[in-house]
């Protein structure tokens, strides 16, 4: 399995604070890879660097063999990275369908084609019936699925999910997990997710990276990582064992 995304010696500091400290890991094609860790560990900063919002201070990010360190977010999206935001950002005044059409128009230049593709994606995420509704009027779980739909409509190779389970009830979490599993299975979509909801991490991830103070403290299969001493001390708490 070839590496789709390869992060090597990545660092980022904000004035005096080291947010990400010489981080290295690889995500293989078709993997579901989770990044966990306490708040302030640098997970979102890592994401923002991969997505092009920030430039790293050191190290490299390589996507499909191409170095993407200093590219702008829209360029990175065009190279096949879709992302969701921790606090969802739909286009509020636009309808659900229009939200997704905007994204579908990236690779399909004709509006009817984009609309057709958007329809497919919405059906997959169970939002087709709500397609005429204004995005600002949706419930949180629906908005999360809309955010996901929008990212998917850009035909990404790699999907970056930033705490997509946050705020969802267990049933909704399970629903999201099964949707993601299906996407990974049917399309071979590679997923890199930041997550606090361990239920989702255990169900989805093939590999887990644990961050603390900007550095990696453990990496491996979920059940291994969960039993790692350092991880327990810094993040999970002794009760989980």
According to CB under 8 A, which one of 35, 61, 101, 231 is a site residue for another protein?
101
The Cα–Cα gap between 144 and 72 comes to 24
Q: Does 164 bind another protein (CB under 8 A)?
A: no
Are 183 and 164 in contact, with CB atoms under 8 Å apart?
A: no
Q: Is the dihedral of CA 236, 238, 239, 241 positive or negative?
A: positive
Q: Strands, DSSP E only, in 68-143? A: 81-83
Q: Does 83 bind another protein (CB under 8 A)?
A: yes
Q: Does 90 bind another protein (CB under 8 A)?
A: yes
Q: Are strands 17-28 and 81-83 parallel, antiparallel or unpaired?
A: unpaired
Q: Does 214 bind another protein (CB under 8 A)?
A: no
The Cα–Cα gap between 47 and 173 comes to 21
The residue (of 1 and 110) whose beta carbon lies closer to another protein is 110
Bridge partners for 220 per DSSP: 208
Q: Does 54 bind another protein (CB under 8 A)?
A: no
According to CB under 8 A, which one of 4, 20, 50, 51 is a site residue for another protein?
51
Q: How far is the CB of 75 from another protein (least distance, A)?
A: 8
| Site track 136-155 with another protein (rule: CB under 8 A), x = hit | --------------xx-xx-
Packing angle of the helix pair 140-152, 170-187 (nearest 10 deg): 10
Q: Which stretch, 28-36, 37-45, 98-106, 209-217, contacts another protein (CB under 8 A)?
A: 98-106
Q: How far is the CB of 102 from another protein (least distance, A)?
A: 5
The Cα–Cα gap between 205 and 129 comes to 30
Q: Does 226 bind another protein (CB under 8 A)?
A: no
DSSP secondary structure of 123-143: HHTT-GGGTTSBGGGS-HHHH
Q: Does 55 bind another protein (CB under 8 A)?
A: no
Least Cα distance to 57 among 12, 9, 25 occurs for: 12
Distance of CA 125 to the CA centre of its chain: 16
Are 168 and 199 in contact, with CB atoms under 8 Å apart?
A: no
Q: Which stretch, 15-23, 36-44, 89-97, 223-231, contacts another protein (CB under 8 A)?
A: 89-97
According to CB under 8 A, which one of 78, 169, 185, 199 is a site residue for another protein?
78
Q: Per CB under 8 A, which of residues 103..122 are in contact with another protein?
A: 103, 105-106, 109-111, 114
Q: How far is the CB of 200 from another protein (least distance, A)?
A: 22
Q: Does 96 bind another protein (CB under 8 A)?
A: no
Kindly list the residues in this chain that would bind another protein in the complex (CB under 8 A): 51, 72-75, 77-78, 82-83, 85, 89-94, 98, 101-103, 105-106, 109-111, 114, 150-151, 153-154
């Amino acid at each position: 399995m070839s590496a789709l995304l390869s992060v090597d010696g990545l660092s980022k500091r904000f004035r005096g604070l080291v947010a990400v400290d010489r981080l290295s890991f690889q995500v293989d094609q078709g993997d579901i890879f989770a990044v966990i860790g306490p708040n302030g560990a640098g997970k979102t900063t890592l994401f923002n660097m991969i997505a092009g919002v920030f430039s790293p201070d050191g190290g490299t990010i390589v996507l499909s063999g191409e170095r993407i360190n200093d590219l702008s977010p829209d360029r990175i999206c065009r190279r096949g990275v879709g992302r969701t935001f921790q606090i969802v950002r739909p286009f509020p005044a636009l309808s659900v369908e229009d939200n997704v059409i905007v994204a579908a128009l990236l690779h399909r230049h004709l509006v009817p084609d984009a609309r057709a593709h958007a329809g497919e994606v919405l059906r997959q995420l169970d939002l087709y019936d709500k397609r005429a509704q204004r995005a600002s009027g949706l419930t949180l779980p629906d908005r999360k699925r809309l955010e996901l739909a929008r990212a998917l409509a850009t035909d990404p190779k790699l999907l970056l999910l930033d705490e997509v389970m946050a705020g969802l009830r267990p049933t909704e979490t399970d629903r999201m997990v099964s949707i993601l599993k299906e996407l990974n299975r049917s399309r071979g979509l590679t997923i890199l997710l930041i997550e606090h909801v361990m239920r989702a991490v255990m169900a989805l991830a093939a590999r887990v990276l644990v961050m603390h103070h900007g550095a990696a403290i453990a990496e491996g299969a979920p059940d291994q990582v969960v039993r790692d001493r350092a991880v327990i001390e810094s993040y999970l708490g002794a009760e989980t064992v």
